Structure 1
Amino acid sequence: MTSTPGIPDFPMTRAAGCPFDPPPAARVLQEEAPLKRVKLWDGSTPWLVTRYAEQRTLLADPRVSADISRPGYPSPAPLPKGGSGISFILMDNPEHARLRRMVTAPFTIRRTEKMRPAVQKIVDDQLDAMLAGPNPVDLVEAFALPVPSLVICELLGVPYTDHDFFQENSKVIIRRDAKPEERAAGHQALVGYLDELMGKKLAEPSDDLLSGLATRVNAGELTRVEAAQMGVLLLIAGHETTANMIALGTLALLEHPDQLKLLREGDDPKLVASAVEELLRYLNITHNGRRRLALEDIEIAGETVRAGEGMIMANDIANRDPDVFPDGDRLDLSRDAHRHIAFGFGVHQCLGQPLARLELQVVYSTLYRRIPSLALATEVGQVPFKHDGSVYGVYELPVTW
């Protein structure tokens, strides 16, 4: 990527020694204006929307498209031939709404709350196994990745015994520097896997989400390919994002012992819920912005976004916007952070956010109490961070107790 005078390249680099903070250059742009031009890998110069208010306005605007197939869409990387295939999150209404409705019910707050005992058992079982194993240990491999993988497998009806297969292919798909053909191969492998599983659900349905999709396939409401692609989306989103929040959130708390103490010694569910929202606001694992396209000319913040121009909603800096979150660079578990946009906003906001919140609440209220002496087993500067992917986190987190 070559530089364009006056227009900075995007994504931007975090400051050394500040792994939890957005890139300083992005913060400078935020201070300058609500909308600024940036340059992407392909030479295009979409708008970077830097502030909270403008992001919420645009994400709720029906003149703004999430359709990755439209010309001008600010894709974070070259698309594989045939498009992305990542189901409804990169579509517009009415097709987005039609497909999303088919999987909404299992992710309601009431339905997910009924899963709390099952999630608690998964967390306890994984901690039992970790405590019985070697010390130090990689928290990602031993706990952060297995917990949400087990939960989403149970919900979808995917055999957890296949976790190595779907985790490895998921990593390729979300790696920003993966070649288009590598991402296409990873995606096709998962579509093939879910399609085969869908065949089994069509023949012998059970009480899980994929069986529910199979019922819709039989009713002619959904094609089998659509069902398999939706399964891929839910499987990837259901384990990758939460796994990274568990590990990165733990590291952030270990680096802020005063805040960790609140969780370890308190027993108020409201504090735990508040801590989850604050960590989501503070960390922003979706760190390359939400990509959108203007369908019509849009006047906003003294600028005109022309039809066909791309926009990037930089949620990491929006969630530190001082007009909304005073002293936003400080991690404060007692803060009322519920207005954050870590899950997006508008019709495309994250479908699985009730489940993610539940899992994080169970983890953050259990891990540090059961292992009160939990500590980093290396220097924070030696922890490998995921700067190269669409989801931010750590590749490994060596811990001891």
Structure 2
Amino acid sequence: MNKNRTNFKSLLEILMVSTRLGLTSFGGPVAHLGYFHDEYVRRRKWMDEKSYADLVALCQFLPGPASSQVGIGIGVMRAGLAGGIMAFLGFTLPSVIALIIFAILLQGINPAEAGWIHGLKIVAVAVVAHAVLGMAQKLVPDLPRKTLALLAIIATLVWQTAITQVIVILASGFIGFLIYKKHKENDEARMDFPISKGFAIGCLVLFFVLLFLLPILRELTALDWVALFDSFYRSGSLVFGGGHVVLPLLEREFVPTGWLSEEAFLAGYGAAQAVPGPLFTFAAYLGAVMNGWQGGLLATVAIFLPAFLLILGTLPFWNTLRRNPKIKGALMGVNAAVVGILIAAFYHPIWTSSILEPMDFAFAAVLFSLLVYWKLPPWIIVVTGAIGGIILGSIF
């Protein structure tokens, strides 16, 4: 009984702490990791510095939302699988609820005629430009990786299909493996997780079964909810580099097929910058636009499920994998391709749909400066963008 009471207390504590983080963590995945470090390592001492760094390294290695996976991992280390679920719910639900409400309020509005929505699209220009610069500085420091990024840009823009990103990522991983397979780092630390290898293998098997089975079910059943689940699950399974990189995958899943307009898509992306928590909750907005609040919840489960299965499936094996220089080399190539894909997405659809007049570019430059040089919080940038869009729409 005492053990059950203690476990319930731990789960409640994890939920409360993660919910507070979910309500206050603005600024994207890198900022989220900083919030996590301050709360979980410095203040609460749930894990030491080295273990936290190792967990972050694992989540950077996996596809999916890195900050969400770090939070799940911390919850698992603290209180097992249930702890991981509590950590995920607390960190994710605030932004999911906010974006579903936004999507419902957007119904009946013509996005092409709403000035504030155009302002949110210009916010997306500033935010993604900032992400491009930061990721490029970190992930493409040498000529081979710069070349991989350039090839990824060309392939993604010239061959605009849903599978292009997958092929680019796989090819870049193979090239990175060939070029950087002798890359080495000294690392002796170990991490322990209360998950058996059998359970972990089961999670990995389920991940791949769903990845290959859902498209087949989609074709056989022709049900909208299966198609929706498949699109979001596949997008969540194939994204390296964080939330911004999921943009081109989701855009090509839903805009060309007519599920929603490009204006509504970019308006939601801009609104997603205004809420705290993981950017992957943008899926909740898309699902709600297409199929109400039920679609929002279904999309949220679908896009985050791969992250859950992958982090649970790899935790027990990470101590071995992280020391393999060949694995690290492949990841270096993948990260370079991620930068190229993000630059391509910055051009289309973001730039081509948002910067229509010289004044749009001037306003984007102002927002970029406020974000990068003045260091203003993202929610202020979003509010400024929405107000500025209204003003621009009334003047010009």
Q: TM-score band, normalised by the shorter chain?
A: under 0.3
Higher strand share: 1
TM-score normalised over the length of structure 1: 0.26
* Higher RCO structure, 1 or 2 (CA under 8 Å, sep 6+): 2
* Greater helix fraction, Structure 1 or Structure 2: 2
TM-score when normalising by structure 2: 0.26
